[in-house]
Amino acid sequence: MQSEYPLTTAQITAYQRDGYIQLNDVITGADLTAFRDAVNDAVKKDTANADPNRVKNSYEQIFIQCVNVWHRYPAVRPFVTSRYLGSIASRLSGLSVRLWHDHALFKEPHTGAKTPWHQDTPYWPHEQKMHQLTIWIALRDATIQNGCMSFIPGTQKMLDIEPVNLANPQDLYDVAPQAKGLKPVTCELKAGSCTVHNGMTFHYAGPNRSDGMREAIAIIYMPDGTTYLKVPHPVTDPLHLETGVKLNSELFPLVSN
């Protein structure tokens, strides 16, 4: 990958104002092919033993998800832990950042259900809730037909909203009545482009009504110095941490200057 993705002052200002931004052609050419192939291989291996006859619950119908594939698949690691992507997260947030985790998100053709409107950060075991952010990379074109992302600008400032139950979601305006009147923005992406959103920004992805898999990977960052909040989460549960401990081990590498 190139040494640094060009960001303008206007783009940084827009991200900090709106809580999201679309960036085009972030990963291209041979790098995109290698990243897409590596993530595809990881998802195939992670799901190889899945029972094809098992009835999926409502949450599992949203997408195939594989967390922290960079831990298990060396071909994925250099992309997820790259300072090239970490620099984008750092410059947009204005902070040094660590990797929180990656998240391969594949919506199956015709069966991949909608991802309801929600914020991310309330699900995470972090004491600080304001500046986490996600780079969501389309590994193949993401369209309205196959379930691209939509955002509600400015909602990163909406704090203390109860986490949405993704398996049985409430109506957005019941959860966040203050979002009424705010117009969602839908971001179709060609492969290798991405959206970046603050962890508190309300976002949504439609169902996959196409004939092909919607292939994407989310890489999630947290400010350096983020401390642990002792609540259940699959990434931190095996670590047996206590509240207040900094998430700064090798599992959460610093990926910016």
Closest CA to 80 of 67, 91, 93, 65: 67
Q: What is the CATH number of the domain that holds 104?
A: 2.60.120.620
Residue 249 counted as domain residue: no
More confident residue, 177 or 14: 14
pTM, 2 dp? 0.94
Q: What percent of the chain has pLDDT over 70?
A: 94
Cα(86)–Cα(253) distance, integer angstroms? 10
**Mean local confidence (pLDDT), 184-212:** 96
The answer to whether residue 21 scores a pLDDT higher than 60 is: yes
Q: How many domains does the chain have?
A: 1
Residue 222 forms part of a structural domain:
yes
Provide the greatest CA pair distance for the chain: 51
Q: State the residue range of the domain holding 25.
A: 9-47+58-239
pLDDT in tens, 126-179: 999 999 999 999 999 999 999 999 999 999 999 888 888 777 777 888 888 888
Q: What is the pLDDT of residue 42?
A: 97
Residue 117, domain member (yes or no) = yes
Task: For residues 178 and 192, give the distance between their C-alpha atoms in angstroms, rounded to a whole number.
Answer: 34
Residue 55 pLDDT? 56
Q: Which of 158-167, 189-198, 209-218, 219-228 has the lowest mean pLDDT?
A: 158-167
Residue 24 lies in a domain: yes
Neighbours of 78 (CB within 10 A): 15
* pLDDT for the residue numbered 62: 67
| Residue 257 covered by a domain | no
Give the up-direction half-sphere exposure of residue 61: CA atoms within 13 A in the CB hemisphere: 14
C-beta atoms surrounding 128 within 10 Å:
13
Q: Ranked by mean pLDDT, which of 17-31, 42-56, 157-171 comes out on top?
A: 17-31
CB count in 10 Å sphere of residue 4? 11
Question: Do the domain assignments include residue 244?
Answer: no
Residue 12 has pLDDT above 70, yes or no: yes
Strand partners, 134: 197, 220
Domain assignment present for 135: yes
pLDDT of 234 reads 95
Please indicate, yes or no, if residue 3 is contained in any of the structural domains.
no
